[in-house]
């Protein structure tokens, strides 16, 4: 029996994880579930899975959940705050932590799980983007098992040589081919992108995701963050990672070898596939996903990414090459800009402009500890807010920086 903490259980990855878990009650037990503020959904999850702990970030939401759990006759203990996220990530009885909190808020509990030597199913991009060297050092020091859950990195993991040791050349790998759908604006005339609405940006052609990740996919920042993730997961340089636009989202990524072979992982675009792979690794279990019908797919297309259409992708490569605090600055500026766009305060095209301005404004510093990352994050958020206040015609009002 594998005991689980699910960080971000009410999000798309969290709910998919619980769907897989429910199919295998003899293999998995839920110890803790966490959410930001979705009381009713977390309550339903508690009723179904009966965890020992439930965590909410907001005290008012936590108080409401406590009351509803008492009324339901459940003895799940409700905790509150970022410290509680760390607490349930390092519980002695927990074997595996599903790290699926979106954004920088997932960094601290995921890092805590790594330091505690837990098996980590990593779906939180920002942990590696912001603090890749700190996190990977913690994984190596504790002996933690790290399995990527992003469909692309999970596909690469499956296509890499068994027991890959972090040396591409020694393992005969020429490069990593990271696939991207191209999002909803792959064919939209450039002149029309200035009029994009949050609703349009959140309508992904293939995947069902949260709003922030959907906007990142529409701008291809999502793929840029994944390039940085791939660098840390597979010890690959920027020139070793090629983004390939593949609209059908059937091939989830590929690995090219020096002998000319290219290995790919295929499947329907459903996150339960990599989640089931991570949960049961090294075994395979039923994920609940229908088998891939190649006759129905019929045709698969591939294209090079358009860096003019998707400047966020180029900015991510720029940050990866700059190293140090640059990726953390990129991520923080993007989170602030995307939040403002979703609130209708800035335009879609303003997102990359703000990120580029912040990257050019702040000096790149060496990352020696988590504090270096958090300082860069705070500074970048402040700089992004200042940039948004200066945009012509903006309705943006600076807000306090998010506590991480």
Strand partners, 263: 255
**Model pLDDT, residue 37:** 85
**Model pLDDT, residue 212:** 86
Which of the listed residues 118, 148, 178 is the one where a domain comes to its end? 148
- Residues 85, 144 share a domain: yes
Lowest mean pLDDT among 230-234, 269-273, 387-391: 387-391
Task: Indicate whether 181 belongs to any domain.
Answer: yes
- Residues 55, 12 share a domain: yes
Report the alpha-carbon distance of residue 338 to residue 352 in Å, rounded.
Answer: 10
Which of the listed residues 297, 312, 338 is the one where a domain comes to its end? 297
Q: How many residues does the chain have?
A: 404
- Residues 15, 132 share a domain: yes
190-212 per-position pLDDT tens digit: 889 888 999 888 876 666 667 88
**Model pLDDT, residue 208:** 60
Average pLDDT over the chain, rounded to whole? 93
**Model pLDDT, residue 404:** 38
Q: What percent of the chain has pLDDT over 90?
A: 83
Mean pLDDT within 76-86 = 95
Query: Model confidence at 402, in pLDDT bands (50, 70, 90)?
Result: very low
Task: Indicate whether 275 belongs to any domain.
Answer: no
- Residues 32, 62 share a domain: yes
Task: Indicate whether 91 belongs to any domain.
Answer: yes
**Model pLDDT, residue 398:** 46
Check if the beta carbon of residue 94 is closer than 8 Å to that of residue 31.
yes
Domain tally for the chain?
3
- Residues 128, 12 share a domain: yes
For residue 60, what are the contacts with CB-CB under 8 A and spacing of at least 6?
A: none
- Residues 142, 160 share a domain: no
- Residues 160, 137 share a domain: no
Task: Indicate whether 318 belongs to any domain.
Answer: no
For residue 240, what are the contacts with CB-CB under 8 A and spacing of at least 6?
A: 168, 175, 176
Task: Indicate whether 288 belongs to any domain.
Answer: no
- Residues 13, 131 share a domain: yes
215-248 per-position pLDDT tens digit: 999 999 999 999 999 999 999 999 999 999 999 9
Check if the beta carbon of residue 312 is closer than 8 Å to that of residue 351.
yes
- Residues 240, 120 share a domain: no
**Model pLDDT, residue 200:** 87
DSSP-H helix ranges across 56-121: 59-72, 82-89, 107-115
Lowest mean pLDDT among 39-48, 102-111, 119-128, 340-349: 102-111
14-55 per-position pLDDT tens digit: 999 999 999 999 999 999 999 998 999 999 999 999 999 999
Residue 372 confidence (pLDDT) above 60:
yes
Residue 65 confidence (pLDDT) above 60:
yes
Report the alpha-carbon distance of residue 311 to residue 275 in Å, rounded.
Answer: 30
- Residues 136, 220 share a domain: no
**Model pLDDT, residue 394:** 54
Q: Is 35 helix (H, G, I), strand (E, B) or coil?
A: strand
Q: What are phi and psi of 315, to 5 degrees?
A: -65, -35
Residue 396 confidence (pLDDT) above 80:
no
**Model pLDDT, residue 395:** 53
Task: Indicate whether 317 belongs to any domain.
Answer: no
Q: Quote the domain boundaries for residue 328.
A: 323-389
For residue 325, what are the contacts with CB-CB under 8 A and spacing of at least 6?
A: 362, 364, 365, 366, 367, 372, 373, 376
Report the alpha-carbon distance of residue 383 to residue 310 in Å, rounded.
Answer: 22
Which of the listed residues 102, 120, 148 is the one where a domain comes to its end? 148
Mean pLDDT within 70-76 = 93
- Residues 139, 30 share a domain: yes
**Model pLDDT, residue 393:** 54
Task: Indicate whether 172 belongs to any domain.
Answer: yes
**Model pLDDT, residue 126:** 85
Query: Model confidence at 316, in pLDDT bands (50, 70, 90)?
Result: very high
Distance set, CA 130 to CA 118, 139, 340, 352 (Å): 20, 15, 21, 18
Report the alpha-carbon distance of residue 116 to residue 79 in Å, rounded.
Answer: 20
Mean pLDDT within 144-160 = 96
Q: What is the CATH number of the domain that holds 363?
A: 1.10.1740.10
Residue 119 confidence (pLDDT) above 70:
yes
Chain position carrying tokens 């690469």:
156
Per the model's pLDDT, the better-predicted residue between 121 and 196 turns out to be 121
Query: Model confidence at 400, in pLDDT bands (50, 70, 90)?
Result: very low
Task: Indicate whether 404 belongs to any domain.
Answer: no
- Residues 215, 164 share a domain: yes
pTM attached to this predicted model? 0.90
Q: What is the CATH number of the domain that holds 44?
A: 3.40.50.720
Mean pLDDT within 292-296 = 95
Report the alpha-carbon distance of residue 397 to residue 27 in Å, rounded.
Answer: 49
């Amino acid at each position: 029996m594998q005991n689980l903490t699910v960080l971000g259980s009410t999000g798309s990855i969290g709910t998919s994880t619980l769907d897989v878990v429910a199919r295998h009650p003899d293999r998995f037990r839920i110890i803790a579930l966490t959410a930001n503020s979705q009381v009713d959904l977390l309550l339903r999850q508690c009723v179904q899975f009966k965890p020992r702990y439930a965590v909410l970030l907001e005290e008012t939401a936590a108080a409401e959940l406590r009351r509803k759990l008492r009324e339901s006759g459940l003895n799940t203990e409700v905790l509150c705050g970022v410290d509680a996220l760390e607490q349930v990530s390092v519980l002695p009885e927990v074997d595996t932590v599903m790290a699926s909190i979106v954004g920088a808020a997932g960094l601290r509990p995921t890092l805590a799980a790594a330091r505690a030597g837990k098996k980590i199913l990593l779906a939180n991009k920002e942990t590696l983007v912001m603090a890749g060297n700190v996190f990977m050092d913690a994984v190596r020091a504790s002996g933690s098992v790290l399995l990527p859950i992003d469909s692309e990195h999970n596909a690469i993991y499956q296509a890499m040589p068994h027991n890959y040791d972090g040396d591409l050349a020694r393992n005969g790998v020429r490069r990593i081919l990271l696939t991207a759908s191209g999002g909803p604006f792959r064919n939209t005339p450039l002149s029309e992108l200035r009029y994009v609405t949050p609703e349009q940006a959140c309508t992904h052609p293939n995947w069902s995701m949260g709003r922030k990740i959907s906007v990142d996919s529409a701008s291809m920042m999502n793929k840029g963050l994944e390039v940085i993730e791939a660098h840390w997961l597979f010890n690959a340089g920027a020139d070793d990672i090629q983004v390939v636009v593949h609209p059908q989202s059937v091939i989830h990524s590929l690995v090219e070898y020096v002998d000319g072979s290219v290995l790919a992982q295929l499947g329907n675009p459903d996150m339960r596939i990599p989640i089931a792979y991570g949960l049961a690794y090294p075994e395979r279990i039923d994920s609940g996903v229908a088998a891939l019908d190649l006759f129905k797919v019929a045709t698969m297309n591939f294209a090079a990414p358009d860096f003019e259409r998707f400047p966020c992708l180029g900015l991510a490569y720029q940050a990866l090459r700059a190293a140090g605090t640059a990726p953390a600055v990129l991520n923080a500026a993007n989170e602030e800009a995307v939040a403002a766009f979703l609130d209708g305060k800035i335009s879609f095209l303003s997102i990359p402009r703000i990120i580029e301005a912040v990257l050019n404004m702040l000096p790149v510093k060496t990352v020696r500890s988590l504090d270096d990352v958090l300082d860069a994050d705070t500074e970048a958020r402040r700089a992004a807010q200042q940039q948004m206040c200066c945009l012509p015609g903006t309705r943006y009002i600076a807000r306090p920086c998010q506590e991480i």
